[in-house]
Chains A and B, each alone.
Chain A
Amino acid sequence: MIIAVASGKGGTGKTTIAVSLAQFLADQGEFPVLISDADVEAPNAHLFLKPKFSDKADVNQYVPQIAEDLCSGCGICADVCQFNAIVMLKDKPKVFPSLCHGCGSCTLQCPEGAIAEIPRTIGRLDRGLSADGLLLRQGLLNEGEPMAVPVIAALKKWKWQTDRIPGVEIVDSPPGASCPVVEALRGADYVLLVTEPTPFGLHDLKQAFQVTRELGLQVGVIINRVGVGEEDIRGFCQANGVPVLMEIPLERKIGEGLARGKGLLEIDPVYRSRFADLWQAVQSAGKAVAT
């Protein structure tokens, strides 16, 4: 089962929930738990799980390299490129690698066969075991690189060579509601949307909820920092037939613990039973889909 944790607004507690749920499930010891940190622009799960990363891989984008001796200067490559990554300058194509989406259309269409595709590293993947015995893998977009989506896609495809087959995978999604979020959520069996009862929280929850609708995904909501504002998140959830699975009060000690890299279970043992309830709810929702 793949559970994705998402939010429209940043800083609502996605990583807090992803990490705490993973730690709860690892404690149960029923099956290996995998956490995939897909917030490749700002991956933070490792700060809570303190893993030993045992291996890594580059994420490469394949960009065109044009053999000058074969190029006739016809300009078809520049014509077919939708992203202005190839521009004709004085009858010679010039490639702008950071604009390239790696679609391969120029290679396919070049009548002279003058285009090869060479790897360009835009990010990195890491994986390893945490102290709690969790499997953690994360993507890391290189600073200065614009495209997060290929890194997320590569992360999700990165097969784990281990005999510990995860029973549950938890995906920590990036914030927002655009293409990186879509890439992170694709294929999830259930999405936990984390929000807070402020005008920003509600506004951005609506955005994220729309994304899950577009993708046809099952959703439950977690309201964090209850007491920070008065926005009626429950009303929105009720109107849209979405269950509220957990509420976490606004408490300074929680904020202080999280700042130091502690998960909720460590900050307050009461969350053990609350995550048990959450897991129960997610499981039964998952079963309801299966039947």
Chain B
Amino acid sequence: MKQIVVLSGKGGTGKTSLSAAFAHLAGSGGTNVLVDADVDAANLELLLKARRVTEEPFWGGSTAIIDQSRCSGCGTCQEVCRFDAVSVSDGEYLVDPVACDGCAACVYACPEQTITLEKQQAGEWYISETAYGRFFHAHLLPAQENSGKLVAFIKRQAQDALKEMDGDLMLVDGPPGIGCPVISAISGADVVLIVTEPSLAGIHDLERVLGTAAYFQVPAWVCINKADLYREGAEQIRDICQVREIPLLGEISYDLTIPRAMTAGEPVTLFAPDSGASREIQAIWEKILLKLNDLHPAGTIIQL
């Protein structure tokens, strides 16, 4: 059982397009599970013709609620809140649910015990059937927190399913950036595959995501998308990989077949198997399969 997580640092480098292609290339044997860990912008579903089988609410963080009928107006809640979530309007103390962190400092500090925490629905999570295996994904409600917890949650569901079916591979389409949802996505991974692009921004953020993977001692591999957009940039990425001893698995040319496949709602390797991009992705996938076999077994579990 192996778990590979696709990351990028910078957004828009092609994580989801490549993840869908890998899902397709991994085949329809039924022993793989797929996860979309970018719950802020969950797009993998749009390429997999997924059929939702279950839909469940995800309960995330909590928000403080003040019982106005018992509030004495002493202002202690406002004093202890470090998130500027309590305001006064016409003598009433009110909690801004967007700013509230759910830390409960006010709940414990209120001398009248008029404040309670109420669980908030942070999103929904789904199990879907696809032609490439069972698919675990979620939708974070806009402006919610705890995307890291939602990522951890769906990954746990996927892991359990993979174990139960004694499956081979868990393929995770990760979020951009390096913060909490990325760390949740990395947790338990055998390897991260970083999809980068030869732009100054792409390279800068590649270094940051490589640093993050190294921090958690998860091995990283790299592939370059839109590799011919800026040749000196691609050269720089090759140098970075060499210096850091990171395997560079391949390069994909700037190819508008990829957005066309997205518009058609299909993995590019299914949509246009003979296109340049598809051939290059296929070559990368073959290297991934070879290298996965050489990896040491267990991933690192990171507690968040």
Please report A residues at the B interface, Cβ cutoff 8 Å: 8-12, 15, 39-42, 44, 47-48, 80, 82-83, 96, 98-99, 101-105, 108-109, 141, 143-148, 174-182, 186, 198-200, 203-204, 207-208, 210-211, 213-215, 228-231, 252, 255-256, 258-261
Q: Is B43 a contact of A215 with CB atoms below 8 Å?
A: no
Q: Is A148 a contact of B40 with CB atoms below 8 Å?
A: no
Quick one: closest B residue to A84, CB to CB? B303
Q: Is A204 a contact of B179 with CB atoms below 8 Å?
A: no
A261 contact from B176, B200, B259, Cβ within 8 A: B200
The A-B contact count (CB < 8 A) is 210
10 residue pairs, one from A and one from B, having the closest CB atoms: A10-B11, A11-B12, A103-B103, A176-B40, A41-B177, A144-B215, A210-B142, A259-B199, A259-B230, A105-B105
Q: Is A198 a contact of B176 with CB atoms below 8 Å?
A: no
- Chain B interface bracket (under 10, 10 to 19, 20 to 34, 35 or more): 35 or more
- Interface flag for B109 (CB, 8 Å): yes
Q: Is B179 a contact of A41 with CB atoms below 8 Å?
A: yes
A177 contact from B41, B146, B230, Cβ within 8 A: B41
CB-defined contacts of A178 to chain B, threshold 8 Å = 39-40, 140, 142-147, 181
A148–B304 Cα distance when bound, in Å, is 14
CB-defined contacts of B43 to chain A, threshold 8 Å = 9, 199-200, 203-204
Please report B residues at the A interface, Cβ cutoff 8 Å: 8-13, 16, 39-41, 43, 46, 62, 80, 82-83, 98-99, 101-105, 108-109, 117, 140, 142-148, 175-183, 197-202, 204-205, 208, 211-212, 214-216, 226, 229-230, 233, 254, 256, 259-260, 262-263, 265, 303-304
Quick one: closest B residue to A11, CB to CB? B12
Main secondary structure of the interface of B (DSSP, over half): loop
Q: Is A198 a contact of B262 with CB atoms below 8 Å?
A: yes
Interface centre among B62, B180, B212 (most CB of A within 10 A): B180
B226 smallest CB distance to A (angstroms) = 8
A124 smallest CB distance to B (angstroms) = 13
A196 smallest CB distance to B (angstroms) = 8
Q: Is A99 a contact of B205 with CB atoms below 8 Å?
A: no
CB-defined contacts of A207 to chain B, threshold 8 Å = 40-41, 142
Quick one: closest A residue to B122, CB to CB? A178
A85 smallest CB distance to B (angstroms) = 10
CB-defined contacts of A146 to chain B, threshold 8 Å = 148, 179-180, 183, 304
Q: Is A177 a contact of B40 with CB atoms below 8 Å?
A: yes
B212 contact from A108, A144, A147, A181, Cβ within 8 A: A144
Q: Is B98 a contact of A214 with CB atoms below 8 Å?
A: yes
Q: Is B178 a contact of A42 with CB atoms below 8 Å?
A: yes
Quick one: closest A residue to B97, CB to CB? A214
Q: Is B176 a contact of A200 with CB atoms below 8 Å?
A: no
Given known A176-B40, A256-B229, contact A211–B204 (CB-CB < 8 A):
no
Q: Is B108 a contact of A108 with CB atoms below 8 Å?
A: yes
CB-defined contacts of B260 to chain A, threshold 8 Å = 229
Given known A42-B178, A200-B43, contact A259–B198 (CB-CB < 8 A):
yes
A252 smallest CB distance to B (angstroms) = 7
Q: Is B233 a contact of A259 with CB atoms below 8 Å?
A: yes
A146–B214 Cα distance when bound, in Å, is 15
Q: Is A42 a contact of B40 with CB atoms below 8 Å?
A: no
Given known A42-B10, A214-B98, A260-B230, contact A108–B263 (CB-CB < 8 A):
no
CB-defined contacts of B40 to chain A, threshold 8 Å = 8, 175-178, 181, 204, 207
CB-defined contacts of B177 to chain A, threshold 8 Å = 10, 39, 41-42, 148, 174-176
Quick one: closest A residue to B105, CB to CB? A105
Q: Is A108 a contact of B109 with CB atoms below 8 Å?
A: yes
Given known A44-B201, A80-B104, A200-B43, contact A99–B179 (CB-CB < 8 A):
no
A151–B104 Cα distance when bound, in Å, is 22
CB-defined contacts of B183 to chain A, threshold 8 Å = 144, 146
CB-defined contacts of A42 to chain B, threshold 8 Å = 9-11, 176-178, 201, 204-205, 208
CB-defined contacts of A101 to chain B, threshold 8 Å = 101, 103
Q: Is A177 a contact of B140 with CB atoms below 8 Å?
A: yes
- Residue pairs across A and B with Cβ atoms less than 8 A apart, 30 shown, are A9-B41, A10-B10, A10-B11, A41-B9, A41-B176, A42-B176, A42-B205, A44-B201, A144-B211, A146-B180, A146-B304, A177-B40, A177-B142, A177-B143, A179-B143, A181-B143, A199-B263, A207-B41, A207-B142, A210-B142, A214-B142, A215-B143, A228-B256, A229-B259, A229-B260, A229-B263, A252-B229, A255-B229, A255-B254, A258-B201
